Amino acid sequence: MTTDRSSPNWVLLCLMSVGLLAWLALDVVNIAPNRLVAGVPHRAHEVHGWWAALLASLPMLAIMGLAWRPDARRLQVALALVIGLLVAMPLWLATAVMALADPDMPQARLGIGSSLWLLLFLWLLVLIELRTRLRLSRAVGWLLLLPIILAWWVSLSLWLEPLAIYREYQGRSDQFVSAILYHLFLVGAAVGASLLLGIVLALCMRRYRGMRKAGFGVLNVIQTIPSLALFGLLLAPLAWLAARFDWLASMGVSGIGWAPAWLALVGYSLLPMVRNTYVALEGVEPAVIESARGMGMSRQQTFLQVRLPLALPVVLEGVRITTVQAIGLTAVAALIGAGGLGTFIFQGLGQAAMDLVLLGALPIIALALVADALLGALADRLRHGGTP
């Protein structure tokens, strides 16, 4: 890879400049005597002193210097530095616990301040930028996250027990695992159903051209309905059906719970699924289809062996978009008793406990990122003929 050393990497410079300001100006941690009392914020220099805060700033300044005249070697050094910063963050939090924790207050809780949240976000963006500039594969990108995840896991296990979000997790560990599994089940059921319906609708639209305008019109209308409004519209008819048909009630169908959540998720998922599937199938070159027919393939063989494999990467992009969207929307479904990780979010909002909100929100973000990365990697692999 060749990089113009006369051209600074302004993305890295801007991200690290904002990170440096956040480190020195915003609160990094806050300490509260218990769960109900607001914490007292502390800046970096108030925890270990100005010398330690300035010393911790040096890696950020070094990355800014490397980004001013970047080449491949300098970017590799910058990559090592940002990984080191991400690994050091939980270790620094552990030292903050030791410095601020009061042994006479065992119920005290340490909250992560706005500075560290912002730094975590910015440094991960820097990691993505460097991976892109160095043209590292997705597999290497995942491997780079392993030491970061290991550092957080070890720190949480050994030193970060007073961390507020960890205390929230400890009090709800069984419920937390169940919520993640239920969240994934609801998302998987909705995406699977929308994929089957999307393929059928796309095929019908291709066969009957009159359905295309009406079908996309209806799906666009469903997409514009606010999620809470759609949940509300489904309550009355589902409650009526459950009261009229005992077999539906025996399946757990009612005005609240999984049934309206699943139907709403399927409704929201249909537009991206149908649109991508339709565009993918229509986008196959006519010459390729004619060549297949000229080789003696039947219509069914042409569809299954030529059109569908060529359209599959774009179809998977629809699955990726739909999955990420469904992971987020499932959180809102907790308002109608559907369960999942959204339960923690709304419980935390009701109790003004932001760490409980984060306990539900952070796994949702992680699930969305993992789903996006895995499905995107699979689509890229298929797009390049099954090679990495």
Does 155 share its domain with 188? no
Give the dihedral sign, CA 96/101/107/108: negative
The rounded distance, in Å, linking the Cα atoms of 187 and 246 is 26
Q: Residue 355 is encoded by which pair of tokens? A: 């760490």
Does 251 share its domain with 162? no
- Nearest to 258, CA basis, from 231, 289, 219: 231
Does 77 share its domain with 103? yes
Asked if residue 285 is part of any domain, the answer here is yes
Helix (H, G, I), strand (E, B) or coil at 172: coil
Does 233 share its domain with 345? yes
Q: What is the DSSP letter of 137?
A: -
Identify the domain boundary among 121, 150, 170: 170
With vertex at residue 47, the alpha carbon angle to CA 45 and CA 51, rounded to the nearest 5 degrees, is 40
The secondary structure of 289-319 as a DSSP string is: HHHHHHTT--HHHHIIIIIHHHHHHHHHHHH
Burial class (CB in 10 A: 0-12, 13-18, 19+), 205: buried
Instruction: Specify the DSSP element, H or E, that contains 114.
Output: helix 114-133
End-to-end CA separation in angstroms for the chain: 18
Identify the domain boundary among 154, 170, 186: 170
Does 112 share its domain with 182? no
Asked if residue 125 is part of any domain, the answer here is yes
Q: pLDDT in tens for each of the 388 residues of the chain? A: 444 455 888 999 999 999 999 999 999 888 877 666 677 888 988 888 889 889 989 999 999 999 988 888 999 999 999 999 999 999 888 888 777 766 666 667 788 888 999 999 999 999 989 998 988 877 788 888 899 999 988 888 888 877 888 888 888 888 999 999 999 999 999 999 999 999 999 888 888 877 888 888 888 888 888 877 888 888 888 888 878 877 777 777 777 778 888 888 998 889 889 998 888 888 888 888 788 878 878 788 887 788 888 888 888 988 999 999 999 988 888 888 788 898 999 888 888 778 888 889 999 999 998 898 888 888 878 776 544 3
The secondary structure of 27-44 as a DSSP string is: EEEEEESSSSSPPEEEEH
- Nearest to 377, CA basis, from 134, 142, 34, 45: 142
Angle between helices 173-207 and 308-332 (to 10 degrees): 140
Asked if residue 2 is part of any domain, the answer here is no
Chain position carrying tokens 């393939």: 297
Parallel/antiparallel/unpaired status of strands 40-43 and 109-112? unpaired
pLDDT of residue 388: 39
Q: What is the DSSP letter of 340?
A: S
Asked if residue 1 is part of any domain, the answer here is no
Does 349 share its domain with 248? yes
The CA–CA distances, whole Å, from 180 to 117, 183, 325 equal: 23, 5, 16
Burial class (CB in 10 A: 0-12, 13-18, 19+), 274: buried
Asked if residue 146 is part of any domain, the answer here is yes
Does 148 share its domain with 38? yes
The rounded distance, in Å, linking the Cα atoms of 99 and 47 is 7
pLDDT of residue 384: 66
Does 155 share its domain with 249? no
Longest CA pairwise span in the chain (Å): 84
Burial class (CB in 10 A: 0-12, 13-18, 19+), 163: buried
Q: What is the CATH number of the domain that holds 313?
A: 1.10.3720.10
Specify the number of domains making up the chain: 2
Q: Residue 184 is part of which domain span?
A: 173-383
Does 106 share its domain with 197? no
The rounded distance, in Å, linking the Cα atoms of 179 and 181 is 6
Asked if residue 262 is part of any domain, the answer here is yes
The rounded distance, in Å, linking the Cα atoms of 298 and 306 is 11
pLDDT of residue 3: 47
The CA–CA distances, whole Å, from 83 to 76, 79, 143, 148 equal: 11, 6, 11, 7
Identify the domain boundary among 114, 139, 170: 170
Does 53 share its domain with 185? no
Query: Starting at the edge strand that comes first in sequence, how are the strands of the sheet with 109-112 ordered?
Result: 40-43, 27-32, 109-112
pLDDT of residue 106: 62
Asked if residue 18 is part of any domain, the answer here is yes
The rounded distance, in Å, linking the Cα atoms of 101 and 108 is 7
Does 223 share its domain with 129? no
pTM equals 0.82
Does 164 share its domain with 181? no
Asked if residue 163 is part of any domain, the answer here is yes
